[in-house]
Amino acid sequence: MKIVKNTVVALAITSTMFAGSVFASDSGIKEFEPRTSISTDKKWTIQFNFSLNKETINSDNIIVTDIKGNKIKAYIAPGENDKSVVVTPKTEGYVPAQAYYLNLSTGVQSAGGKKLVQPVRMKFTIADRYLDTSNYENLPKITDLKMQYEPMLPNQKQIFYINSSAGSQTQYRIYVSKYTYKTDSYGAYEEITNGYTYANDGKITSNKFFDAGENGEKYKVLIYVKRPNVKGAQLDDNTDFDNYYIDYFRCVKSISDKGVTKVNYDKGLQEVLNSQIKPGVSVTDEGPSSWVGASNNQIKYYLNPNNFMDESGKYMFLKLNYIDDSITEQDLNNILKGRGTLENTGKAFIQAGKDNNVNPVYLVAHAIHETASGTSKLASGIEVDGAEGKKKVYNMFGIKAIDSDPEKYGSEYAYSQKWFTPEAAIIGGAKFIAEKYVNNPKEKRDTLYKMKWNPFAPGSYQYATDIGWAYKQVQNIKTLLAQCKNPTLVFEVPVYKK
C-alpha cells in the first residue's frame, strides 16, 4: 500500500497573490492544476512562502467541497511552521471515484494582514477503490486484526486480537456502526471501549453486546490507534488519533448446521482473497459510492463462509441442483400468480429443472428478477423478423441481453434459439444457465456462493463482480421456498484450508 505522505500542494501561494498584485480570472477564482488517483485518506499540506495569520486558518476560509459545491467535512490546522496549513479528511476518507475541490477564500491573510486577491482552488479526484486503513507515515498503525467470533451471537462480546507496527507501545479506541440494507447506510458510531486502552495480551474485549435482528446484522468496526500518553496527530469528531483501521463482522441469532454438508478446499481464505482484490474483479456500491473497487476487508466479509452460517445466511450455500420432486408444479404456480407472462408456467419450470438438473425455485427466482416479475419487454414478447419470418420471441433470463441494447440483443438471441413461447424461453434459458454455471463440466457453480466467488478458480469467470451479489439473492430465494409445501433443502459450505 502506498504511503500517504504529508504532501505539499503545489499551489505556489506567494506574496504576489496578495492584495495589489494579481488580477482575478474570468471566473474570479484562481485554478490550479487538478490531481487524479488521490488516496481516500489524503492529507494535504498547503505551503506558503510567507508567515500566516493563524486566526484566519480555519474551516470558514479553507474548505473542501464536492463537485456540486457542497461542503465536505475536513479538519483544518496550522502546519509544522507558520507558513503552512494542513487539511485532513474526515475519518474513513473521501468517497472513491468522486471529485472534490480544495478551496482557499480571500479570508486567508498573511501575518501582516494582507488578504488573497482572489479565491484559489484545486480539483482532485479520488482513486476508485476503498481502503481499510489510513497510512500516515512514521506513526503507529494496525498491521493485523483478527476477531474471535465469525459470526458472533447476541450473548457474546467480540474479542479483537490486534498487532501494531509499534508493538505493545500502542493504544486503541474502538467504535462500531450498524449497517442497514434497506437504506444502504451505516448508523452513528458507538464506542465499545472506555477511551484509549492497551491490547492486554494482544487483545481487547468489547464492553457491549450486539443486536442480531431477524436475519443477522452487519457491523463496521473503526479502530483508532495512537502513541501512548500523547495527543494523536489527527483529530475527528470521536477522538484524536494517529491512524485508523476498518473491518466488519456479523451478528446472528444462532448458528444453523441443518442440512449442511461441508466440503474442504485446497486453497486458504487469504489465497482466494488475493485473487479477488485485483482491479475490476470485486466491486461494491455500499454506502455513498457508485460501483467502485471494494477494499480487502469489504471483500473478506462476504467471502468468508463462516459469517453466514445462520438460518438466513446459509441460503448462499443452497444447492441449486434438482434434488427431488418435493417442489411441485402447484407450488410454482402459486408463486407465479399475477407475475405477467410467467403466470401458470410452473410446469415449464419443473421440466426445465429436471431436464437440466437445476433447482426449479432458483430458476423461478432468477426469472422473476430478470423480467421484473414477468412484465419486461423481453418477457412480454418482442417481434423479430428473421429467416423464419416475423416471430414474437421471449427471453426470461436476460440471456445475451447486452447492456448497450438489451432488448435488441436479447430478442435476437431468443430468435436464434427459437424461443417463440414463454415456455420455450424458460426451458432453453435453463439449459444455458446449467451449462455455463450450475453444471459447468469444468467448474460447477451449483450454489449462489460458487456463482459469485468461483472458489475453483477465484477471480475468474464469476457471475457477478458485486461482492454482495450472493447475499442479496438470499432473501428472495428463501421467501419463495417458504411458499413451497415441503421442499428438500441441501446446503454445501466450503471450508478453506487453514
Q: Are the C-beta atoms of residues 337 and 420 closer than 8 Å to each other?
A: no
- For the cut 60, the answer to whether the pLDDT of residue 25 exceeds it is no
How confident is the model over 391-437, as pLDDT tens digits? 999 999 999 998 789 999 999 999 999 999 999 999 999 999 999 88
* Residue type for position 374: G
Residue 309 to residue 410: CA distance in whole angstroms: 37
The pLDDT score that the predictor gives to residue 116 is 83
Q: Which of 26-30, 192-196, 282-286, 391-395 has the lowest mean pLDDT?
A: 26-30
The pLDDT score that the predictor gives to residue 461 is 81
Q: Are the C-beta atoms of residues 470 and 452 closer than 8 Å to each other?
A: yes
Average pLDDT over residues 126-131: 94
- pLDDT category at 347 given cuts 50, 70, 90 is very high
Name the H helices within 337-437.
Answer: 346-356, 360-370, 377-380, 406-416, 422-433
Pairing of strands 120-126, 99-104: antiparallel
Write the DSSP assignment of 404-424 as a string of letters.
TSHHHHHHHHHHHTT--SHHH
Cell, residue 54: 493563524
- pLDDT category at 375 given cuts 50, 70, 90 is very high
Q: Are the C-beta atoms of residues 415 and 392 closer than 8 Å to each other?
A: no
Q: Which residues contact 182 (CB under 8 A, 6 or more apart)?
A: none
- For the cut 50, the answer to whether the pLDDT of residue 487 exceeds it is yes
Q: In Å, how far from its chain's centre is CA 49?
A: 43
For residue 223, give the nearest of 43, 91, 130 by alpha carbon: 91
The pLDDT score that the predictor gives to residue 294 is 95
Whole-prediction pTM: 0.88
The pLDDT score that the predictor gives to residue 16 is 42
How confident is the model over 262-289, as pLDDT tens digits? 999 999 999 999 999 988 889 998 877 7
Work out the end-to-end distance of the chain between its first and last CA atoms, rounded to an integer number of angstroms: 25
The pLDDT score that the predictor gives to residue 403 is 78
- pLDDT category at 27 given cuts 50, 70, 90 is low
- For the cut 70, the answer to whether the pLDDT of residue 26 exceeds it is no
Average pLDDT over residues 244-269: 95
The pLDDT score that the predictor gives to residue 61 is 95
Q: In Å, how far from its chain's centre is CA 457?
A: 22
- For the cut 60, the answer to whether the pLDDT of residue 3 exceeds it is no
- For the cut 60, the answer to whether the pLDDT of residue 388 exceeds it is yes
How confident is the model over 293-345, as pLDDT tens digits? 999 999 999 999 999 999 999 999 999 999 999 999 999 999 999 999 999 99
The pLDDT score that the predictor gives to residue 279 is 84
- For the cut 60, the answer to whether the pLDDT of residue 52 exceeds it is yes
Average pLDDT over residues 441-466: 88
- pLDDT category at 156 given cuts 50, 70, 90 is very high
Q: Which of 50-59, 145-154, 283-292, 325-334 has the lowest mean pLDDT?
A: 283-292
- pLDDT category at 4 given cuts 50, 70, 90 is very low
Identify the residue whose cell numbers are 482557499: 104
- pLDDT category at 32 given cuts 50, 70, 90 is confident
